[in-house]
Amino acid sequence: MTIDPFYLIVDSAAWIRRLVPLGVKLVQLRIKDRSTSEIRAEIREAKAICAAHECQLIVNDYWQLAIEEGCDFIHLGQEDLASADLSAIRDAGLKLGLSTHDEAELETALAAEPDYIALGPIYPTVLKVMPWAPQGLDRIGAWKARIGNRPLVAIGGLTVERLAGVFEHGADIAAVVTDITRNPDPESRTLEWVAATRQMPPN
Ligand SMILES: Cc1ncc(COP(=O)(O)OP(=O)(O)O)c(N)n1
Ligand SMILES: Cc1nc(C(=O)O)sc1CCOP(=O)(O)O
Ligand SMILES: [Mg+2]
């Protein structure tokens, strides 16, 4: 499966409406601290926008809602995975991306045979407090050697200026939140990400 190398992560359908038409082909809806009915409505709206723009939507955390709303790709962290019903997810035909932060998590993730593996935080991130020190670029190469043909997502503190390094070290996909959503001009920054990731040679 080929997945677009530019992976935008946002916390609302409003962001998806704003940025996906600019050429984003892979987006994660990552919502925290909202009611189930609000999250369902956001997923529904995001799905319609993505369908209209041939963009792959990935729903973070809420795998039951993703199934109920007819989505086809979810992302889970290790704690999410521990409480999720993997058989139900696979029976519903959903593709699955998993987070990893250390060797033990990589073993757990590989056993679940996901459709991609994410490694982070590559650089310090301001989005959330994390117990892991930044992984650094060399860890990307080590992860890629372990996961083979499975796509590797790099996440955490990524910027346009840091893209060449993560792809040169073996990442297939670069995920981003704040370099775009906290940029004074998110639309222009998105266009820079689209252009920069199109230039990266595939691994
Ligand atoms: C592509 C990607 N990688 C990692 C994460 C983090 O997932 P998780 O560890 O479950 O943390 P939350 O994002 O749920 O706070 C991700 N969402 N996407
Ligand atoms: C949501 C998330 N998960 C991470 C992980 O390492 O699993 S790093 C991260 C934050 C990514 O945001 P930004 O691009 O602003 O650093
Ligand atoms: Mg999660």
Quick: pLDDT tens for 69-118.
999 999 999 999 999 999 999 999 999 999 999 999 999 999 999 999 99
Question: Which residue among 60, 79, 98, 177 has the greatest number of ligand 2 atoms within 8 angstroms of its CB, and so is best to mutate?
Answer: 177
Q: What is the mean pLDDT of residues 142-163?
A: 97
Q: What are phi and psi of 192, to 5 degrees?
A: -65, -40
Which of the residues 12, 17, 18, 30 is marked catalytic? 30
Which residue has the CA at smallest separation from atom 9 of ligand 1?
A: 77
| 159-197 per-position pLDDT tens digit | 999 999 999 999 999 999 999 999 999 999 999 999 999
The answer to the question of residue 34 being in a domain is yes
Q: Can you give the pLDDT at residue 21?
A: 98
The CA–CA distances, whole Å, from 66 to 24, 54, 91, 105, 128 equal 20, 18, 13, 24, 24
Closest-approaching ligand to the CA atom of 96: 1
Closest by Cα among 103, 116, 105, 57 to 79: 105
Cα-trace Rg, the chain: 16
Q: Residue 45's domain spans which residues? A: 6-199
Domain count, the chain: 1
Asked whether residue 86 is domain-assigned, the answer is yes
Q: Ligand 2 site: residues with CB under 6 angstroms?
A: 99, 101, 120-121, 125, 127-128, 155-158, 176-179
| Shortest-distance atom of ligand 2 to CA 122 | 6
Atom 5 of ligand 1 has which residue's CA nearest to it? Answer: 99
47: annotated active-site residue: no
Q: Per the domain annotation, does 1 fall within a domain?
A: no
Backbone angles phi, psi at 10, to 5 degrees: -135, 165
Cα–ligand 3 centroid distance for 176 (angstroms): 15
Is residue 128 flagged as an active site residue? yes
Which residues, at least 6 apart from 170, have a Cβ–Cβ distance to it below 8 Å?
140, 141, 143, 144, 145, 152, 203
CATH of the domain at 69: 3.20.20.70
Look at residue 13 and tell me if it is in a domain: yes
Does residue 148 belong to any structural domain of this protein? yes
pLDDT attached to residue 61: 98
Sequence-separated (6 or more) residues with CB below 8 Å from residue 22: 187, 190, 191, 194
Which residues, other chains included, contact 172 with Cβ-Cβ below 8 Å and sequence gap of 6+? Answer: 3, 5, 116, 151, 152, 153, 202, 203
Q: From the centroid of its chain, how far is CA 203?
A: 18
